[in-house]
Amino acid sequence: MTLKIYIDADACPVKEETYKVAIRYGLQTFVISNSFMQIPTSPLITRVIVAAGADVADDWIAEHVVAGDVVVTSDIPLAARVLAKEAHAIAPYGRAFTEDSIGLALAQRSLMEHIRSTGEATGGPPPFSSTNRSRFLQALDQAIARERRKRSLSESR
């Protein structure tokens, strides 16, 4: 079974970086979005357009991802679903979600939603930077290398 990458593509700032890494490693990559999105011409990269609606892209990813695959998403509930399937979830700003960190991330998300629902202005995330891009590339490379090592060890047994 080959490692695959899934990109939760709507509003993802690191699609181009992910394509380059996927092509370098020869990994099948799925770009999931609610609307047409330009992708590189490559047999390794597949565009998947899902119906509009809350969580439709997330549901598609969660249905198709298997243990060891990599999902690029900033959606914390999707990251939790990905981790439950023993796959890797990496946020565009370079945070690799883990079993140890996902509970706190979900709690913080819930708290911020509550604060926003009271009308409190919380501001948005800081601007995406080249440091974020670098952290993301490092996290993606580490996840792929870790998974490839794990798979080669299990194949050699």
Residue 134 above 60 pLDDT? yes
* pLDDT tens sequence across 13-71: 999 999 999 999 999 999 999 999 999 999 999 999 999 888 899 999 999 999 999 99
Residue 1 above 90 pLDDT? no
What confidence tier does 114 reach under pLDDT thresholds 50, 70, 90? low
Work out the average pLDDT over 130-153.
93
Domains located in the chain, CATH noted: 4-122+139-155 (3.40.50)
Q: Are 68 and 147 in contact (CB under 8 A)?
A: yes
- Tokens 């708290």 correspond to what residue? 111
* pLDDT tens sequence across 19-28: 999 999 999 9
Cα separation, 6 vs 46, in Å, equals 10
